Amino acid sequence: MTATTPATAPATTAQPRRFRLRLTRNRKARAGLLILAVYAFVAIFGPTLVTHLLGQSPTAFTGQVLAPPSAEHWLGTNQDGVDVFAQLIWGTRSSLLVGLIAASTSTVLSVLVGLVGGYYGGVLDQVLGAVTNVFLVLPGLPLVIVLAGYLQGRGGSIAVAIVIGVTGWAWGARSKRIQTVSLRNRDFVTNAKLMGERDARVMGAEILPNLLPVISSTLMLAVVTSILAVSGLEFLGIGDVNTVSWGSMLRQAQERQALFSGAWWWFVPPGAAITLLGAAAGLVNFGVDEITNPRLRVPRAPRVKGGRA
Partner 1 sequence: MSATTGVAPVQTAGRRSGARGGALRVIARRCLFYLGTAWAAITLNFLIPRVMPGDPASVIITQLAQRQPITPETEQAIRALFGQPEGNIAQQYVDYLGELSQGNLGLSTTYYPQPVWEVISTGLPWTLTLVGVTTVIAFLLGTGLGILSGSRPGRLADSVMAPLATLLGSMPYFWVGTLALLAFSVTVPWFPSQNGSDLSLDPGLSVEFIASAIHHAVLPALTIIVSSIGGWFLGMRNMMITTIAEDYVQLAEAKGLSRWRVMMSYAARNAMLPQVAGLAISLGSVVGGSLLAEAVFAYPGVGYLFYQAVVSLDYPLMQALFLTISLSVLAANFVADSIYVLLDPRTREA
| Burial track 6-34 (b if 16+ CB lie within 10 A, e otherwise) | bbbbeebbeebeebeebbeebebbebbbe
The answer to whether residue 142 forms part of the interface with partner 1 (CB under 8 A) is yes
DSSP 3-state assignment of 253?
helix
- 54 near partner 1, judged by CB under 8 A: no
Which residue stretch of 52-60, 70-78, 183-191, 253-261 sits at the interface with partner 1 (rule: CB under 8 A)? 253-261
18 near partner 1, rule: CB under 8 A: no
Cα gap 271→280, rounded to integer Å: 14
Burial environment of residue 131 by CB neighbours within 10 A (0 to 12, 13 to 18, 19 or more): middle
Of the residues 24, 59, 126, 152, which one makes contact with partner 1 according to CB under 8 A: 152
Interface with partner 1 by CB under 8 A: which range of 64-72, 78-86, 187-195, 228-236?
A: 228-236
Gap between the terminal Cα atoms of the chain: 29
d(CA 198, CA 205): 10
**Interior angle at CA 43, CA 41 and CA 49, nearest 5:** 80
The secondary structure element, H or E, covering residue 287 is helix 264-292
The count of residues interacting with partner 1 (CB under 8 A) is 66
User: Which CB, 240 or 289, lies closer to partner 1?
Assistant: 289
Which of the residues 93 through 132 are near partner 1 (CB under 8 A)? Answer: 130
Q: From residue 22, give the alpha-carbon distance in Å to each of 26, 177, 216, 284.
A: 6, 24, 14, 12
Is 232 a binding residue for partner 1 by CB under 8 A? The answer is yes
Does the protein bind partner 1 through residue 241 (CB under 8 A)?
A: no
- Which of 37, 138, 200, 205 lies at the binding interface for partner 1 (CB under 8 A)? 138
What 3-state class would DSSP assign to 191?
helix
Q: Which residues contact 268 (CB under 8 A, 6 or more apart)?
A: none
Cα(67)–Cα(261) distance, integer angstroms: 11
User: Is there binding between residue 14 and partner 1 (CB under 8 A)?
Assistant: no
Per CB under 8 A, 156 contacts partner 1: no
Q: Which is nearer to partner 1, 53 or 298 (CB)?
A: 298
The H-assigned helical ranges of 121-207 are: 122-137, 140-151, 156-167, 170-184, 187-194, 199-201
* Candidate residues 44, 49, 134, 205; the one interacting with partner 1 per rule CB under 8 A: 134
267 binding partner 1? (CB under 8 A): yes
Figure out which of the listed residues 29, 203, 283, 291 binds partner 1, where binding follows CB under 8 A: 283
Q: Roughly what angle, to the nearest 10 degrees, separates helices 264-292 and 84-120?
A: 30
Residue 164 binds partner 1, judged by CB under 8 A: no
Among 40, 54, 143, 166, binds partner 1 (CB under 8 A): 143
Is residue 230 part of the contact set for partner 1 (CB under 8 A)? no
Nearer to partner 1 (CB atom), residue 21 or residue 130 = 130
- Which is nearer to partner 1, 37 or 49 (by Cβ)? 37
Among 11, 21, 200, 296, contact with partner 1 (rule: CB under 8 A): 296
Residue 231, exposed/middle/buried by CB under 10 A (0-12, 13-18, 19+)? Answer: buried
* Residue numbers 173-202 binding partner 1 by CB under 8 A: 178
Binding interface with partner 1 (CB under 8 A): 1-4, 130, 133-134, 136-143, 145-152, 154, 178, 228, 231-232, 235-238, 250, 253-254, 259-260, 262, 264, 267-268, 270-271, 274-279, 281-283, 286, 289, 293, 295-296, 298-303, 306, 308-309
